[in-house]
Structure 1
Amino acid sequence: MTKILVADDEADLELLIRQKFRQKIREQQYDFVFACNGNDALEKLSAHPDIDVVLSDINMPEMDGLTLLTKLGDVAPLTRAVMVSAYGDMDNIRVAMNKGAFDFVTKPVNFEDLELTIEKTIKYVNQLKETLQAIKENNILKMYVDSNVLNFMGTKEYEHSLLENETTEATVAFIDICGFTSISEKETPDTVVRLLNHYFDLMVKEIIAQNGIIDKFIGDCVMAVFKGDFHLDRAIEACLAIRNRIDALPEEHSFSPHVSIGINSGEMISGNIGSATLKRLDYTVIGDVVNTAQRLQAVAGRGQILITAEAYEKVKMSFQCQSIGKKNLKNKEEVAELFEVLN
């Protein structure tokens, strides 16, 4: 449901809006909040931070619509404003657009046109939110990002959102390309980067196919996180597919690629780690479960996928595994029994 703020001093506008959009309201597609001027609108925005769209008149008492526009970015950076005014001359339209209006609708209102404008604005706001979510989860900042997103990234609200943390149940996998350091020491940088990117691209496709998240690339290793239903099963499926695809690749420059993989599942902390001052933070997972997965990968040999005994008990009915005995893991006091996932 989209929440829309209507700022207008005309007393009968609320009734008109509710009548014209009664079906959308009844179907819980739209939820309207009303304000009588710019000051009232700012108060409503503070009380309802989930407002996505503002429909604002220009000529209002106490604070007019153009002044409201200048303050909107500070109060609600992702909210977009559509000016609805009888002052439809080009000068007013240009001033409104220069102050940050997303669109302009003239009075008397054509409600069919207004509805199309609202839908277009909602779509744009949702795109902004999806872009921010992609940045937060995958640390991927696209080459072309809307300037409003970049402005939002400079706000306190953005910094606060980056510092929100949670405890989550998930599976983490470390996937390393065995022996890749050797080729990096004897081939040209272009060859090394081309091969590494090709291997990574194959891995990423299999991870995404199982709804996994690429947490980070660490040298010639990929760290992936799987959340939601059957996250451990999906992580293993992705890693089996990665091993098979990498093993099937032809030898290039005297290098035959293979992977070693460690997978661990359990409770971990999810949050942004880094410097808010530099605005360089990694949205990542940390904790003993993550550390153990990395150590499992370090123990794994060429073509091996290793899991703990606890993980084995969860997936033994779905995957063929075999015990490889007890192993010492770095910084672990207790010896751990490990299992190799075969298929």
Structure 2
Amino acid sequence: MTSTVLVVDDEPDLEALVLQRFRRQIRDRRIDFVFARDGVEALQSIERHPHVDLVVLDINMPRMDGLSLLARLQEREDKKSAIIVSAYGDMSNIRTAMNRGAFDFLTKPIDFADLEATILKTLGHIEVLREARRRQAEAERAHASLSRYFSPELAKRLAAGDDGDEMQVRWRDVAVIFTDITGFTSLVESAEAEVLAELLNEYVGGLTDVVFAHDGTVAKVIGDAIQVLFNAPGDQADYATRAIACAQALDLWAEAFRARWKDKGVDFGVTRIGVHAGPALVGNFGGDRFFDYTAYGDTINIAARLEAANKVLGTRICVSDTVASTAGKFRGRPVGDLVLRGRSEPLRAHEPLSPAAFDGAAAAQYASAFAKLESGDIAAMPAFAALVGIHADDPLASYHLRRLLNGAKGARVQLE
């Protein structure tokens, strides 16, 4: 790469002397020189040659002296490195020049060996700074991209180049959250474009903030649906606990969001959430052209099926026994042994509860009724009927009561 040096001096012989001294660098296209006779001409030359890397300027010049020119150069967005030349070794002027951003100085009469060494040293310094700025720009671009997926601290670390291997595609155990909204298609068809944009931006942004607060990774955002990973890209020993806590926090935020928009006259659907844990193929699937950190595998599909199961069960959160048993101090109630769409083997699922709800009388009454259901006890139907009689707003209890009234037995639930 050719470096361009602007030499600003009103001595008529200087141009020829400089070209002679640097003839080999010029011939090898390592350095190119541009010349100006004073500060005014120098500024005009920079406009014509914005790629100038270094300015070598005399202090005493007509129309605009070197110190004034130096000040103007530092006002530019692309600040130019400068070497100041003083005819008399005037330390006062040299000190002023260094305070105004000059990189180095020379005294007249010019020692051309010293001039050559100083110019080459300064160009080397400029190249280091240029590389540092390039790396910083790349890091900022990487951080902007990674911030779509990862919490701010993790994105900052990854953008800096740490844990780069974690981006490679590999099998790893993860916890997965899938969210979706009921009736979103109808809302899209009926809402004004401006309202829908505001609504969806606030919704996705709010859910993402909740995920990041729990150090989760946003693997996909598809319209109103969000896929979240834990234990990826970095290791999280408590990933199952984090996933369940995050799912409950997402539910609280989504319900508050729905209430706010209902007050504005917008009927926003319920957010359904599914959570599962297991092995998945995780990493950057974007190749060299773009970044697409996501996950694939049966674990991901099961989390999506559990999210969809909420629609039938009447619940808002449905978590697999796999993730519930892995989490510490799980509080919840069994939903049933779900035979998910496309699968033949049942999967025990649970509905997580808040500490207050888990310790309440309703949870104990449900646990007793479910135990009767699971064992095939005929007392299950009156037990659920009594529960619904007291808690008519419990959709899961109502679901099991309807199953029993329709002749179903046991905790196995076939979902289509």
Partner SS state of residue 292, structure 2 = strand
1:319 pairs with 2:330: yes
Partner SS state of residue 300, structure 1 = helix
Which residue identity lines up with residue 221 of structure 2 in the other structure? F
Normalising by structure 1, report the TM-score: 0.55
Alignment counterpart, residue 283 of structure 1, candidates 293, 298, 320: 293
In the TM superposition, residue 286 of structure 1 has moved relative to its aligned partner by 0.6
Query: When you count strand as a share of all residues, which structure comes out higher?
Result: 1
Structure 2 distance, partners of 1:226, 1:260, is 18
Structure 2 distance, partners of 1:266, 1:66, is 58
1:17-32 to structure 2, matched below 5 A, reads none
Partner SS state of residue 319, structure 1 = coil
Which residue identity lines up with residue 268 of structure 1 in the other structure? A
Structure 1 distance, partners of 2:23, 2:214, is 53
Structure 2 distance, partners of 1:175, 1:89, is 59
Identity value in percent: 22
1:267 pairs with 2:288: no
Query: When you count helix as a share of all residues, which structure comes out higher?
Result: 2
In the TM superposition, residue 176 of structure 1 has moved relative to its aligned partner by 1.2
Partner SS state of residue 234, structure 1 = helix
Which residue identity lines up with residue 172 of structure 1 in the other structure? V
- Rg larger in structure: 2
Which residue identity lines up with residue 308 of structure 2 in the other structure? A
1:192 pairs with 2:196: yes
Q: Which blocks of at least 5 consecutive residues in structure 2 are unaligned? A: 1-21, 32-52, 58-79, 83-102, 105-116, 151-164, 355-416
Which residue identity lines up with residue 321 of structure 1 in the other structure? G
Which residue identity lines up with residue 232 of structure 1 in the other structure? A
Partner SS state of residue 334, structure 1 = coil
In the TM superposition, residue 296 of structure 1 has moved relative to its aligned partner by 0.9
Mapped contact 1:138–1:283 kept (Cα < 8 A): no
Structure 1 distance, partners of 2:306, 2:23, is 66
Which residue identity lines up with residue 262 of structure 1 in the other structure? G
More relative contact order, 1 or 2 (CA 8 Å, 6+ apart): 1
1:245 pairs with 2:253: yes
Deviations 1:323-343 (A, max 9, x none): 101111122221111111122
Which residue identity lines up with residue 235 of structure 1 in the other structure? A
Structure 2 counterpart of 1:236? 244
CA 1:231/1:130 → structure 2, altered by over 3 Å: closer, same or farther?
A: farther
Structure 2 distance, partners of 1:120, 1:280, is 25
CA 1:59/1:231 → structure 2, altered by over 3 Å: closer, same or farther?
A: farther
In the TM superposition, residue 308 of structure 1 has moved relative to its aligned partner by 1.2
Q: How many residues are matched?
A: 232
Moved more, 252-261 or 115-124: 115-124
Mapped contact 2:315–2:351 kept (Cα < 8 A): no
In the TM superposition, residue 271 of structure 1 has moved relative to its aligned partner by 3.0
Structure 2 counterpart of 1:206? 210
1:300 pairs with 2:304: no
Which residue identity lines up with residue 169 of structure 2 in the other structure? N
Mapped contact 1:247–1:257 kept (Cα < 8 A): no
Structure 1 counterpart of 2:36? none
Partner SS state of residue 267, structure 2 = coil
In the TM superposition, residue 303 of structure 1 has moved relative to its aligned partner by 5.3
CA 1:283/1:65 → structure 2, altered by over 3 Å: closer, same or farther?
A: farther
In the TM superposition, residue 274 of structure 1 has moved relative to its aligned partner by 5.9
Alignment counterpart, residue 310 of structure 1, candidates 322, 326, 344: 322
Partner SS state of residue 190, structure 2 = coil
Structure 1 counterpart of 2:352? 341
Mapped contact 1:246–1:257 kept (Cα < 8 A): no
Mapped contact 2:274–2:318 kept (Cα < 8 A): yes
CA 1:333/1:281 → structure 2, altered by over 3 Å: closer, same or farther?
A: farther
Deviations 1:87-137 (A, max 9, x none): 96559xxxxxxxxxx98976559x9xx999968964762552353365368
C-alpha RMSD over aligned residues: 4.2
CA 1:292/1:136 → structure 2, altered by over 3 Å: closer, same or farther?
A: same
Mapped contact 1:172–1:264 kept (Cα < 8 A): yes
Structure 2 counterpart of 1:15? none
Alignment counterpart, residue 172 of structure 2, candidates 162, 168, 173: 168
Q: Which blocks of at least 5 consecutive residues in structure 1 are unaligned? A: 1-57, 68-86, 92-101, 141-160
Mapped contact 1:139–1:282 kept (Cα < 8 A): no
Moved more, 237-246 or 185-194: 185-194
Structure 1 counterpart of 2:381? none
CA 1:169/1:127 → structure 2, altered by over 3 Å: closer, same or farther?
A: farther
Which residue identity lines up with residue 283 of structure 1 in the other structure? Y
